[in-house]
Amino acid sequence: MAKKVRKIAVLTSGGDAPGMNAAVRAVVRASVFNNIECYGVYKGYEGLITNDLVKLNARGVNNIVNKGGTILKSARCLEFRTKEGRIKAKNTLDKHEIDSLVVIGGNGSLTGALLLEEEHGINVIGIPGTIDNDLVGTRCSLGYDTALNTAVEAIDKIRDTASSHNRLFFIEVMGKGSGHIALNAGIGAGAEEVLIPEQNMGLERLLDSLKKSEKSGKSSSIIVVSEGDKIGENVFNFSSYIEKNLPHYEIRVSILGHIQRGGTPSCFDRVLASRMGVYAVDCLLQHKSKIMVGIIDDKMTATPINDAIKGGQSLDKDLVRVCDIISI
C-alpha cells in the first residue's frame, strides 16, 4: 500500500515510443487537477541521478499530445542499475519532497521503478511505453499501434517495387524478442511469410513454402522478419540461404529500423496514453504502488510490476493460424 501522495514526478525511459508525450501531458494535468505538484524528469533515470527536473503545470505540456518522441528525453541509464545510482536518485527525490514516481517505459524501465520502491519506499506506477508490446497485463503498450501502422505503410511501399521487379524482399521489423509487430504488420500488409522469435519456422520450411508460392503463380514475395528469430538467425542469414537455394530469385533486404519508433502518434495511442496517464494518478491517489497500468477488454487495469515484467505477452496463436491460411 502506497503512502499519501504529496508530489509526483514523471519520466520517460528506454526506447522512445509514440504516445509518450500524450502520457506525460495526462500525468501532469491529472496531478494539477487533483492539486498535486508534478515534476518532469529529463533523460529518464539519468535526470533523477543528476537532479535534472522541472516543475510542470498544465500549460507546460501544451501542444504535445500530437508529438512523437518524448519532450522529457529518454535514456537507458546504466548508473541507475547500481545501488549507488539509486541512492542518488532517492536523494534528488527527497530534495524536492517528491514521494511518487510515474515511469513510462518498457521492461527494463519498470524493473528500475520496482527497485526504487523496494529499496527506498517511493510510490511507483508504471505506464507501458514500448513499441515491442512485450509487457504482461496490457493488450497494447504505448507506441505499438503507431509503430505497426508505420511498418505496414513502409511494407506497402516496398511491395510496389517487389511486384514491379518480380523480387523477393526480406523486411526486418523491430521487436526485440517479440513478434507482435512482425506478425500483425505481416498480416496487415499481406506478407507471404512472417518469421517471429516465438516460433521456429526453420529454413527448410521457409524454402518449401516459397517454392509452393512460386508454383501457385506468385512472382514476388514479401517475408517479414522480426529482429532475432527463435534460432538466432538474422535477416541476412535468411536471404543468403534462400539466394543459394533459389538462385533465379532476385532478392533484396530492407531493414525498417528506427523509422518505426518515430512519428506522430496514432489517435489510438493518444487516447490510450491519456487514459493511462489519468489512471496512473488515480492509482496513486488510491494508495496503489508497484503496479503497471494497462488496458484489457477496453478497461483500465492494474497489474503488479513484478508480473508485468515477467515475460513477453504471449502472441495470439490464432493470429499465427490466420497468417498461415491467408498467405497461401
List interacting residues with ligand F6P (CB under 6 A).
15, 106, 130-132, 174-176, 227, 261
Q: Are 102 and 25 in contact (CB under 8 A)?
A: no
C-beta of 17 vs 122, nearer to ligand F6P: 17
Among 324, 316, 315, CA closest to 193? 324
Closest contact distance (angstroms) between CB of 49 and ligand F6P is 19
C-beta of 60 vs 108, nearer to ligand F6P: 108
Closest contact distance (angstroms) between CB of 244 and ligand F6P is 28
Q: What does the alpha-carbon distance between residue 130 and residue 309 come to, in Å, rounded to a whole number?
A: 12
C-beta of 228 vs 277, nearer to ligand F6P: 228
C-beta of 100 vs 260, nearer to ligand F6P: 260
Helix (H, G, I), strand (E, B) or coil at 101: strand
Closest contact distance (angstroms) between CB of 294 and ligand F6P is 17
Q: What does the alpha-carbon distance between residue 57 and residue 3 come to, in Å, rounded to a whole number?
A: 23
Reported as type and span, the H/E element at residue 24 is helix 20-33
Q: What does the alpha-carbon distance between residue 83 and residue 246 come to, in Å, rounded to a whole number?
A: 54
Q: What does the alpha-carbon distance between residue 181 and residue 195 come to, in Å, rounded to a whole number?
A: 11
Helix (H, G, I), strand (E, B) or coil at 38: strand
Closest contact distance (angstroms) between CB of 94 and ligand F6P is 31
Per-residue DSSP letter, 3: P
Q: What does the alpha-carbon distance between residue 92 and residue 111 come to, in Å, rounded to a whole number?
A: 19
C-beta of 142 vs 283, nearer to ligand F6P: 142
C-beta of 122 vs 224, nearer to ligand F6P: 224
Closest contact distance (angstroms) between CB of 106 and ligand F6P is 5
Q: How many other β-carbons are positioned within 10 Å of the β-carbon of residue 203?
A: 16
Per-residue DSSP letter, 150: H
Known catalytic residue at 132: yes
What is the end-to-end Cα distance of the chain in Å, rounded?
A: 53
- Of the residues 16, 99, 132, 269, only one is catalytic, namely 132
Q: Which residue has the cell 518522441?
A: 69
Closest contact distance (angstroms) between CB of 127 and ligand F6P is 15
Q: What does the alpha-carbon distance between residue 46 and residue 212 come to, in Å, rounded to a whole number?
A: 52
Q: Please give the positions annotated as active site.
A: 132
